[in-house]
Structure 1
Amino acid sequence: MTSLKVDDLDRLVIAALLAHPRATHATIGQAVRSSEATVSRRLMRLRRAGAVRVVGALDSQISHRARSVFVRLRCAPGAADELALPLAQWNETGSVKVLTGSVDCVAEIAYTSNEHLYALMMHRLPQFDGVMATFSNQVIRRFSTPHGWNPGLLPEDAVAGLRADRRDRWSERREPDEAAPMTELDEQIVGELIGDGRMSWQELAARCGVTPSTARRRTEALMTRGVLRMRTVVEPEVLGLTVNAFVWLTINPTKIGLAGEILARHRNVVMIAATTGDRNLCGEIAVASDSALYEFLSETVGHLPGLIHADVAVALRTVKRAGMIAPELLTAVGQP
């Protein structure tokens, strides 16, 4: 992201976009009490600077295309920074962070089968120099994701109004037994919106070779079924949340659901999921300061029902988020 001064109105515009990634400028203006023209200018500036982007995402659970695993790496001194970037170049990684704490790097990896995961964990990952230990936690249920993150900058009624206009699903639900079917046109639509989630119906139609009304109808059908989801991607620090951290919790199995739902409702929780492995509840949080992190851990995590153990690692650098390598690092991997 290029250097950019972000003020309170910018943050409100981003918060509105988090609540409804495809909201019109007029709708966002109503939510933040500003004019449509002002919102248009602000949003164009933020997007051009790389401070915020909107992407479409194929829901891997609804489509049964892939599953996710969080991989934590403990590295030799100085090795985390060197392995994070090549790890981010894997097509399978959705996010990669360099951390400080009990582990040095964390990545969310998508895999299509046990054989695929075996190849990643047993063959490709060990090829990196400096990896001293790995810990993997397979996601078995998501309680909240960045698709529905509400950092609490807007009044609740404004957030509710924006969410009410969304056609895509922002909250989480259990995985269906059968995969949602998709046509060739559906696949093309999803592929286009993954690159630009705010693409107009006219442009989407032109790229897919259909009429704008067909493009809109098919897209909204995908959204309603939960296959296509929209996400506003922003680094928490842009919103004034300068401490980004990951928590790995061990919860009494009888209380995982209750603890997960409590965390999912908290404005500082970007995502939280039940997992297998040495920790059974994993997530990402964003707070404004170290003191806010202390308060979150002592007042929220510390009072979770069934809490047995908590581990926290603070992010030092975002290498990849939502499938995109940080723009300032792209030149290091030879991308324009």
Structure 2
Amino acid sequence: MSRPTQESTDQASVEHLLRTERPEQLDELDYLLITALQTSPRAEWAQIGKVLGVDASTAARRWHRLTEAGHAWLSCYTVAVGPAVPIIAFIEVDCAAGALHDVAAEIADDPHLITIEHVTGARDLVLTAAFPDLAMLARYVGFRLGRLPGVSATRPQTATAVHTEGSRWRLDRLDPDSHDLLAKDQGPAMPRRGLPAPDALDTRLYLLLSEDFRQPAARLAERLGVSPTTVRRRLDRMHRQDSLIYRCEVARHLSGWPISVTLWGIAPAGETSRIASQLIRMRETRLCASLTGPHNLMLTVWLRSAEDIAAFEARLADRFPELAVADRAVALWQLKIAGHVLDPLGRHIRNVPVTFWKDPAAHRTEQALLHRLRTPR
């Protein structure tokens, strides 16, 4: 067998680079399929195929091709954490020159980090995270982030309310009749009170669902070592309690909405709920939250182009003259969304199941500090 020449090797490298930097475009059936799964993530392939006008095997085959290429993917995480609502925090991180990517790679597997974004403006990274309480948030910021080489500053804020988040965003390629055939109750936008804390079996089930929530109950039961009836009973309970959030995502580069912008605004305290209720109905809105910091409203939108940023802000000013946009940031690289690590074009790389953070080293460091504080000088 002849060895490849340098010319052929170079040509292969160029072709690989072109495939990497210029991903294939999606066709209309791909967009319809993604929208159908955003509308009803757990629908049977036969039902999805009927709505799209194809057979079940074609729908399943198309989806497999999309996921293999990293162009689209499914995610699932739980909001069942017990009687208290978890703390949702937005943490701004400043990095030393040249350290940003090392910091991002170090924290990518922190399971409670829902989103990691490299952004423009007055901060390098914006993290969205969930914690069981404020003490755990303080521990993470002080004894994890604050001690990482390359982190020069952190600024956490907590959400007093999350009005909507990415699981409710749609490509909107389906006609109204097809949408109505698939649409179901979408459950809560974010965690709510009164959900029982998961037991050990629930937690194991959540982790398997985060890998692939469309796998049949029999397969889940086999992997858990329990009966299919037990799995179905637990899934039925979780769905009745709205304790699971399902998402279908598409690579932002291929979505038709490639520009992600986060805006921080200041609204009169008595007007934030009214403004938020209208912001979440806007086509572009991916996230809307009320915050505890100097900017009491945070909005993330996906736009068609960079030129649309000014036009969108003008629309906000016209519709909400009492809302002052104080700052903005454009996402350069969304490194992680809803527990999934992405490449610079927004394509899927791998899954990191969303759970609460536990770090024995940080706990020991905190205990050492407490010992010092208990000891009079």
Q: Same fold (TM over 0.5)?
A: yes
With over 3 angstroms needed to count, the CA separation of the structure-2 counterparts of 1:299 and 1:151, relative to structure 1, is farther
Name the residue aligned to 1:158.
178
With over 3 angstroms needed to count, the CA separation of the structure-2 counterparts of 1:113 and 1:235, relative to structure 1, is same
| Contact residue 97 and residue 107 of structure 1 kept, 8 A | yes
With over 3 angstroms needed to count, the CA separation of the structure-2 counterparts of 1:188 and 1:129, relative to structure 1, is closer
| Contact residue 266 and residue 296 of structure 2 kept, 8 A | yes
Tell whether 2:277 aligns with 1:277: no
Tell whether 2:329 aligns with 1:313: yes
| Contact residue 152 and residue 267 of structure 1 kept, 8 A | no
Whole-Å Cα distance in 2 between the matches of residues 54 and 174 of structure 1? Answer: 19
Name the residue aligned to 1:7.
27
Q: TM-score, normalised by structure 1?
A: 0.86
Deviation sequence 1:77-100 (CA, Å, 0-9, x none): 444333222232323311111111
- Indicate the SS of the match to 2:196: coil
Whole-Å Cα distance in 2 between the matches of residues 152 and 296 of structure 1? Answer: 19
Whole-Å Cα distance in 1 between the matches of residues 177 and 267 of structure 2? Answer: 33
Name the residue aligned to 2:42.
22
Whole-Å Cα distance in 1 between the matches of residues 234 and 348 of structure 2? Answer: 36
Name the residue aligned to 1:89.
109
Whole-Å Cα distance in 2 between the matches of residues 297 and 61 of structure 1? Answer: 37
Name the residue aligned to 2:366.
none
More displaced stretch, 215-224 vs 75-84: 75-84
Tell whether 2:100 aligns with 1:80: yes
With over 3 angstroms needed to count, the CA separation of the structure-2 counterparts of 1:208 and 1:252, relative to structure 1, is same
Whole-Å Cα distance in 1 between the matches of residues 287 and 81 of structure 2? Answer: 16
Tell whether 2:156 aligns with 1:140: no
- Supply the AA of the counterpart residue of 2:136: H
Name the residue aligned to 2:368.
none
Q: TM-score, normalised by structure 2?
A: 0.77
| Contact residue 58 and residue 190 of structure 1 kept, 8 A | yes
Name the residue aligned to 1:118.
138
With over 3 angstroms needed to count, the CA separation of the structure-2 counterparts of 1:183 and 1:60, relative to structure 1, is closer
With over 3 angstroms needed to count, the CA separation of the structure-2 counterparts of 1:121 and 1:244, relative to structure 1, is same
Whole-Å Cα distance in 1 between the matches of residues 220 and 297 of structure 2? Answer: 38
More displaced stretch, 10-19 vs 123-132: 123-132
With over 3 angstroms needed to count, the CA separation of the structure-2 counterparts of 1:126 and 1:210, relative to structure 1, is closer
Whole-Å Cα distance in 2 between the matches of residues 9 and 136 of structure 1? Answer: 42
With over 3 angstroms needed to count, the CA separation of the structure-2 counterparts of 1:260 and 1:31, relative to structure 1, is farther
Look at both structures and tell me which one has the larger radius of gyration over its CA atoms.
2
- Supply the AA of the counterpart residue of 1:67: I
Give ranges in structure 1 of 5+ residues lacking alignment: 332-336
Alignment length, in residue pairs? Answer: 327
> 1:266: how far off?
1.7
- Supply the AA of the counterpart residue of 1:98: H
- Indicate the SS of the match to 1:290: coil
> 1:52: how far off?
1.8
Deviation sequence 1:6-41 (CA, Å, 0-9, x none): 222211211111111112222222333433332122
Name the residue aligned to 1:299.
315
Deviation sequence 1:134-173 (CA, Å, 0-9, x none): 3322122111122222233323443343222x5xx44437
Deviation sequence 1:234-274 (CA, Å, 0-9, x none): 33222121112222222111111111111211221112111
Name the residue aligned to 2:341.
325
Superposed CA RMSD: 2.8
> 1:197: how far off?
1.8
Whole-Å Cα distance in 1 between the matches of residues 341 and 190 of structure 2? Answer: 28
- Supply the AA of the counterpart residue of 2:312: F
- Supply the AA of the counterpart residue of 1:28: I
Whole-Å Cα distance in 1 between the matches of residues 317 and 239 of structure 2? Answer: 33
Name the residue aligned to 1:246.
262
| Contact residue 67 and residue 110 of structure 1 kept, 8 A | yes
User: Which of residues 73, 91, 97 in structure 2 aligns to 1:53?
Assistant: 73
Deviation sequence 1:168-195 (CA, Å, 0-9, x none): x44437832x342544433332221022
Tell whether 2:165 aligns with 1:106: no
Whole-Å Cα distance in 2 between the matches of residues 52 and 217 of structure 1? Answer: 30
Identity of aligned residues (%): 26
With over 3 angstroms needed to count, the CA separation of the structure-2 counterparts of 1:300 and 1:171, relative to structure 1, is farther
